[in-house]
Amino acid sequence: PRTGESDIDSQELCEELESLKLFVTGQQTIKCEPLEILNYICENSLSGSFPNVTIGLRILLTLPVSVASAERSFSKLKLIKNFLRSTMSQNRLSHLAMISIERMKCQTKLK
């Protein structure tokens, strides 16, 4: 899309949601949860029929991860800064923040 344009056509999205609602209501095995619906669309090759819904669900499902990661980074930075106060250089603070944030990844790789 060009600058100022959206990845999703809002009018088509509304139409797709109405069609999907009718389609999914008849299915007993689908729970009305974003991941379940996206999996169903992908497994049954329906992304061509519901392109805007597919894009919207993918965006929706990635948002919590992004927000949680950012919050965790700021939380760790605050803990480090409180512990060591403001007596260190910005470079050292950045390195300590990265070590603290990535600690979980290191622990899982060592196990």
Does residue 4 carry a pLDDT above 70?
Answer: no
CA–CA separation, 9 and 13 (whole Å): 6
What residue has token string 């519901």?
Answer: 50
pLDDT digits (tens, 9 = 90+) for 83-103: 766 566 778 778 877 887 777
pTM, entire model? 0.54
- Domain spans, the chain: 10-66, 67-110
Higher pLDDT, 105 or 47: 47
Distance from the first to the final alpha carbon of the chain: 44
